[in-house]
Amino acid sequence: MDEQLLIMLSVMSGIGILAPVLFILFHVVRQFMFIPVALVCMAGGILFGSFLGTVYSMAGLLLLSALFYFCIRKIPRTYGKLMKVKHNWFGAHTKLTVGQIAVLRLIPFFHYQLLNVCLLERRPDFRGFMKGAFATNLPLAFFYTIFGEYITQFSPRMAVLIVIALFILCYLLREKVVTVKWHEFFSHHSA
């Protein structure tokens, strides 16, 4: 994984004006190479600086989210698998709020597309989904682009404390009311 990122960094630094376009497209391709979003955002900060790295990362993440929106329903098997994982992790009746999704995106080991499914469940129309994608990707792109260099210097204890703090924040941002339909409640308990 690190070798692929180093190759990408060396190629991007040598191609000049096409670098931003390739970097944005790399955000779409990176998921097939199993490179975490956080590493690509950090690379954007190294290559383009804080401001442009954040802008290019946001462009790439929004492009990825738009492609996800249009493709996921055409791949029902993948959608079903992601929904099964969502139900196993969060419960069948839990709908994550946009704030929770934004916080969970900051935790590097959370599956990016799983969080997109949670966002799609919350905001099924394209415009609402893209607004939610913007709101949930901005902290991710900003945090890892700006502070990416410093995160790698944290001690393991500090990293664990940050992850625990993010989980607590996610819990505090949860939706306080869950509505379960009558027939869903009784069919679930009778099985």
- Interval 1-49: pLDDT, tens: 567 666 766 776 677 788 899 899 999 998 888 788 888 888 888 788 8
User: 2, 37, 41, 25: which is closest to 145 by C-alpha?
Assistant: 41
Q: Containing domain of residue 87, as a range?
A: 2-190
- Interval 106-122: pLDDT, tens: 887 788 899 999 999 99
Measure Cα distances from 160 to 73, 77, 100, 178 in Å: 36, 35, 19, 30
Give me the pLDDT at residue 109, please: 77
Give me the pLDDT at residue 43, please: 82
Sign of the four-CA dihedral 121, 122, 127, 133: negative
Question: What is the value of pTM for the model shown?
Answer: 0.75
The rounded Cα 183 to chain-centroid distance in angstroms is: 34
Band the pLDDT of 189: cuts 50, 70, 90.
low
Whether 129 has a pLDDT exceeding 60, the answer reads: yes
Q: How many domains does the chain have?
A: 1
Interhelix angle 37-71/19-29, nearest 10 degrees: 70
Tell me the C-alpha distance between 8 and 19, whole Å. Answer: 10
